[in-house]
Amino acid sequence: MLRDRVKEYLLKQIQRNNLQVGKTINLAALARQTQISVTPIREALSQLEESQLIKSVPNRGFIVPELTMSEAKNLYETVSQLEILALESAAIDERLVGKLKKQQLLLQQAHSPLTRLNERFKFHDLLVENCQNTVLMRILDTLKSRIRFYEQLLVKDASFYENSDNQNEGIIRAIEEQNIPTAALILKMNWMLVSDYVVAQLQKK
């Protein structure tokens, strides 16, 4: 459907840091960029508003909501719990372990904040790629898209993410040993590490 194409386009713009917090989304420009009429674009934006990725403001149109400490805490806590649930229900095999190890190497080689962020999210996506619960995965993807705004805006030093490298390696080892409870515990610590940093940066603003 056309609105789904618009949603996919906007989510890619989030990943590329092309949508800015507090800025109005220009419907006419979006129609030109996607070559889709305004009606399905409005439908897509309304769906994204239901997911709280964007919001409608009278006399301004659709904008990316401002960031808050309370939302950040709730987002990271919820994502960590949902990702643990997805991991616990996912099929684990040697192929997954191999992909995680390769992704961890790419993650360690990334140096710019945006590249590091993208590679980090790819690692987390791989962790749960075998989860068959499509509803759960859809919710996770939406929440992670919102989290991107926080990290793109607040994490300016890519070296911060190096603090999570040991945790990632611990997750991989635990999965390799079929020790999912330990992997889940480290996974929660991983998300909370970034959450604490993001909240601390918000407190400085």
175 pLDDT higher than 80:
yes
Mean pLDDT of 46-65: 85
CATH number given to 2-63: 1.10.10.10
Among 16-20, 44-48, 109-113, 126-130, whose mean pLDDT is lowest?
16-20
* CATH value of 69-204 in 3.40.50.1980, 1.10.486.10, 1.20.120.530, 3.20.20.190: 1.20.120.530
* % of the chain exceeding 70 in pLDDT: 100
3-state secondary structure the chain: CHHHHHHHHHHHHHHCCCCCCCCECCHHHHHHHHCCCHHHHHHHHHHHHHCCCCEEECCCEEECCCCCHHHHHHHHHHHHHHHHHHHHHCCCCHHHHHHHHHHHHHHHHCCCHHHHHHHHHHHHHHHCCCCCCHHHHHHHHHHHHHHHHHHHHHCCCHHHHHHHHHHHHHHHHHHHCCCHHHHHHHHHHHHHHHHHHHHHHHHHC
Mean pLDDT of 81-100: 95
From-to residues of CATH 1.20.120.530 in the chain: 69-204
Mean pLDDT of 139-162: 88
Give the predicted TM-score (pTM) of the model.
0.86
pLDDT of residue 15: 72
